[in-house]
Structure 1
Amino acid sequence: MPLVSGHEVISECTSRGLLAGAFNTTNIETTMGIVAAIERTGVPTFIQVAPTNVALSGYEYIYDMVSRRLASTDVPVALHLDHGKSLDAVEAALAADFTSIMIDDSEASYEDNIATSVKARALCPPEIALEAELGSIGGKEDDVAPEFASTTDPSQVAHFVDAVGCDMLAVSVGNQHGFVPNARIDFDLLAQVQEASPVPLVVHGGSGLPDEQLARLHQFGVVKVNVASDLRNAMIRSFGEAYNANPKEASLIRVSKNAVVAITDVVEARIRTFNPSIN
């Protein structure tokens, strides 16, 4: 199946009572592992990449790699720009035919965040789903941490979404990027945000949250949960274990295939945790 718009993934998940994982890719092994898990579960999904992770390949390579692998897949998948911190990143992803976009100016003032997000909305054709962020999520994304973290203010949500015209809202409700052992969702705050938001919500930092919390998110208007660190760790761990077992290992294809299996298992487990009804 060709890549679909983020709108279609949102619609499919909403109509079927599902929650979409959003899994970050960087290379062929990660992509193959993600798609294999999507095929096993049949849950519509976002595959995504952040600007910090296109330094090696560029957006076009990511598009080619993902779209080629998905050609033989029947599950709806959107290719999403994760944490587009600039309008240049948005334009580059759109030029490479990404089908879903995130603009993230959440560290700016409320007014500046709206102004930048509105410009991103204007760049995106109507068929492209736009995610914006209100409240600055803590933790580290690719070893980059925000200068400050702040929770989402429910009183700002309706106005922000209306002013921007975004299709998904990324929120800061106790979630943090990366592996943060003490990260916990504030479900009271999340419920207030859900009540105020006219669009589905997005939770970043899925790698650091306990399974029992991830399994509840579908009850609070969350349609998308981002997972990156788990996948990267699975690949690095797989290669490290191969080296430790045999420092003279020279079969890159065997080690790479083992990494794909490790990534597939992680992604499948996450999708099933997000969606208790499919287990």
Structure 2
Amino acid sequence: MKIVNGFDLMKYAQDHHYMLPAFNTTNLEMTYAIAKGLNKAKLPGYIQISSNNLRLSDPEAIVYLTKKALADNDVPIGLHLDHGKSYEDVKACVNAGFTSIMIDASHLPFEENIEEVKRAVEYCHFYNVPVEAELGCLQGKEEDIVNEADAKTDPDMVADFVAQTGCDLLAVAVGNVHGLDIEPKVDLPLLEQISKISPVPLVMHGGSGIPFDIIQKAREFNLLKVNYGSDLRKAFVSTFGRAYEANHNACSVIELSIEAVENVSEKAAELVTIINS
């Protein structure tokens, strides 16, 4: 199956009442594992990579790997830029063949955030690619970027932000956090309040630390997409860690990589199944 357009994937999920997981990749093994896990579960979702991780894998390489990984798949999967940090990254990913984009200017003042998102939206919509934006800031560590601020999304800003930017998805900060080092305290009443205001579907980052019953409850509040990075990375890295602890001379990269792909795919299949149960 080819990489699915982001608008088509969103509509497919809404029509079938699915929650879309977005699983972070870094390399070939993670990309193949995510595709395998979603196909195993027979449920749709995203393969995504952040601007930060594009330091190792440029957009063209990730598009190529994703196409290869999806060759034998039968479920709809989109390719998403997660936490796009610049307009240049957005353009590079759209030009390479990404089918969904996030521009993250949430660290900027409100009006500057709007201007950055508008610029990305104008470019992406020309190519029929949806744009996710973020309003509010999450605590925790997103790869190598540490944020100690906890600025929840202000419901009073949501309608104006979406109207001015033209974004298609809105990532919210409601007590969710990045990484596994801080305990999330998701404010479901705030999420419900935002859902009544936002004209676009909502996104929750930091899914790895959030209890499944909270995610399932959040589905009632127009939550369409939830991001998972740490759970899959842990499954990948621990494969090599266990082998090393068992034998400090373990060095069969191919065998361990194949095992890691299987472990990550099982975790991806488990997560997408649970959040859609």
Equivalent in the alignment of 1:193: 194
Are residues 147 and 178 of structure 1, via their aligned partners in 2, closer, same or farther at CA, if it must alter by over 3 Å?
Answer: closer
TM norm structure 1: 0.96
Equivalent in the alignment of 1:44: 44
| Offset, 1:126 | 5.0
Equivalent in the alignment of 1:15: 15
Q: Distance in 2 between matches of 1:93 and 1:209?
A: 29
| Offset, 1:230 | 1.0
Once the two structures are superposed, residues 135-160 of structure 1 have per-residue CA deviations (whole angstroms, 9 ceiling, x without a partner) of 11221101312363310011111111
Q: Contact 1:205/1:227 (CA < 8 Å) preserved in 2?
A: yes
Paired amino acid for 1:79: L
TM norm structure 2: 0.96
Q: Contact 2:204/2:226 (CA < 8 Å) preserved in 1?
A: yes
Q: Distance in 2 between matches of 1:185 and 1:42?
A: 29
| Offset, 1:252 | 1.8
Identical counterparts, % of pairs? 41
Q: Contact 1:214/1:273 (CA < 8 Å) preserved in 2?
A: no
| Offset, 1:69 | 1.2
Q: Distance in 2 between matches of 1:126 and 1:249?
A: 47
Equivalent in the alignment of 1:213: 214
Paired amino acid for 2:102: M
Query: SS in structure 1 opposite 2:249?
Result: coil
Equivalent in the alignment of 1:120: 120
Paired amino acid for 2:54: V
- Greater shift after overlay, 222-231 or 54-63? 54-63
Are residues 80 and 200 of structure 1, via their aligned partners in 2, closer, same or farther at CA, if it must alter by over 3 Å?
Answer: same
Q: How does 1:1-279 map to 2 (within 5 A)?
A: 1-124=1-124, 125-146=126-147, 148-276=149-277
Paired amino acid for 2:134: E
Q: Distance in 2 between matches of 1:57 and 1:200?
A: 29
Paired amino acid for 1:198: P
| Offset, 1:6 | 1.0
Paired amino acid for 1:177: H
Runs (4 or more) in structure 1 with deviation over 4 Å come to none
Query: SS in structure 2 opposite 1:21?
Result: strand
Instruction: Flag structure 2 segments of 5+ consecutive residues without an equivalent.
Output: none
Q: Distance in 2 between matches of 1:95 and 1:32?
A: 22
Q: CA RMSD in A?
A: 1.2
Q: Contact 1:101/1:129 (CA < 8 Å) preserved in 2?
A: yes
Give the number of aligned pairs: 276
Once the two structures are superposed, residues 175-194 of structure 1 have per-residue CA deviations (whole angstroms, 9 ceiling, x without a partner) of 01111452021000000000
Q: Distance in 2 between matches of 1:258 and 1:122?
A: 43
| Offset, 1:110 | 0.8
Q: Distance in 1 between matches of 2:181 and 2:153?
A: 19
| Offset, 1:55 | 0.8
Q: Distance in 1 between matches of 2:133 and 2:64?
A: 25
